[in-house]
Structure 1
Amino acid sequence: MELCHYLPFFQALPPAEQSALSHAAVRRRVPQGTLLHNGSADCLGLLVIELGQLRAYMTSDEGREITLYRLFDRDICLFSASCMLSSIQFDIIICAEKETAFWMIPADFYKRLMERSVAVSNYTNQLMASRFTEVMWLVEQILWKSFDQRLARFLVEESALEQTSLLITTHEKIAAHLGTAREVVTRMLKYFQSEGMVRLTRGAIELLDLKRLEILAQI
């Protein structure tokens, strides 16, 4: 499928702008684990995801990570072009959680396009508002939800995402997603296991009672 099918504003552009955008966009494919954007250290450009999965996260001064949001097929990653957004004052890191194919639109080109087109500017503002809404939801979860609720929700959502009750992951990876220490995750998972909700094995977590986890997560 061509780039034009992934950009809601494409048909609103004049033919010359459509052609310029199609030529400026670079198609790439990266393996799992690829670091695509490292905060203010670089400005890769706007990423339009064709197929795959990206993770946007932040790190503390102590090196602790927390996942802000994830991006999937047909999503658009704006913060990989954060250098063109003067209002962005914090560093976001973006990596590929799975093999990912995407188009990269250079930041300087997209900025000029945004300045010339009301449709592009409006879409960009809507996209930015949507991402900040996700981040604010995360802040609310951290402030007002207990850790057992947050962990249960993570497990349920991972199960839905991977379409399996057997999650191949580690306690350390879960801790990175939830912004806590591995020991905290391990302690809570062992409690879940004692309650019959999960079974823990090396490098994997099997969800035994999805309904109870959903109730705990208040989904």
Structure 2
Amino acid sequence: MDEIRKSLSFLSPDLIKKIEESSAIKDIPKDTEILREGQYVKVIPIVLDGLIRVFSRFSDKELLLYYIKPSESCIMSFASSLKNDPSRIFATTEEDSRVLLLPVDEVSSWIHQFPSINTLFYQQYNLRYSELLNTISHVIFDKMDKRLYDYLVEKSNLTRQNPLKISHRQIASELGTAREVVSRVMKKLESEGKVLQHSNSIEIMVGD
């Protein structure tokens, strides 16, 4: 259980022991839906390795909200579980991931027994709040070429992949726009030397 202690080193030893006794570690393949809108949350994930994508869906469009990286959790799952409300978000593994699953019933009691667990969720709240503000700012104020380029750079950095194996349709879905818009803006970025499109991937051009 060294990976739990490493990821949650800021928690008290007694709480870490409880987590080791009551929680499960699961290896989840890439592109697996682990939470959907309307589902009641039974476990709260903490990513030990890999990457999880959290998004909302409106009609046939999605909007990427944030990524959950190693040693991070999903504050929206935490909030829904405490209120016993159905989830308002979707979560899918962006890559093969190893996830620690905290049982909701235990977490509710740990909050009272071990105040240090609040540190985890306060940290996540602050992080996600800032990320959601950034997402709103991008949607409202940024032109699509900047949104698209920043999105590609972030995904490349997080997944450590360049070129990215991703379709225009998938990009459009995650940015909440139309595929035709993505294709048009991608041509603009390519003409500016910022990206290079291959048959099944997109390469971000890194300047000197």
What's the TM-score, normalizing by structure 2? 0.87
- Measured at CA, do residues 9 and 207 of structure 1 come closer, stay the same or move farther in structure 2, by a change above 3 Å? closer
Give, in whole Å, the separation in 2 of the partners of 1:93 and 1:99: 17
Residue 4 of structure 1 aligns with which residue?
A: 5
State whether residues 115 and 121 of structure 1, in contact with CA within 8 Å, keep that contact through their aligned partners in structure 2: no
Residue 95 (str. 1) matches residue 92 (str. 2): yes
Partner of 2:22: 24
Aligned residue-pair number:
207
1:156 aligns with 2:153: yes
Separation of aligned partners in 1, 2:3 and 2:156: 31
Match of 2:186 in 1: 189
- Does structure 2 retain, via aligned residues, the 8 Å contact 1:71–1:77? yes
Displacement of 1:163 in angstroms is 3.8
Deviating 4+ runs (over 6 angstroms):
87-90
- Structure 2: tracts of 5 or more residues without a match: none
Deviation at 1:90, TM superposition (A): 6.7
Deviation for aligned residue 1:20:
2.6
Mark the CA change 1:160 to 1:41 in structure 2 (over 3 Å): closer, same or farther: closer
Task: Give the superposition deviation at 1:129.
Answer: 2.6
SS of the residue corresponding to residue 166 of structure 1 reads coil
CA contact (8 A) 1:49 1:103 kept: yes
Deviations 1:160-191 (A, max 9, x none): 33445422111111112222111111110112
* C-alpha contact 1:38 1:93 (8 A) present in aligned 2: yes
The letter of the residue matching 1:6 is S
1:205-216 aligned within 5 A: 205-208=202-205, 210-211=206-207
Percent identity of paired positions between Structure 1 and Structure 2: 23
CA RMSD, 1 decimal: 2.4
- Indicate conservation of the 8 Å contact 1:199/1:205, yes or no: yes
Q: Is the 8 A contact 1:44 1:80 kept in 2?
A: no
Moved more, 69-78 or 86-95: 86-95
The aligned counterpart of 2:32 is: 34
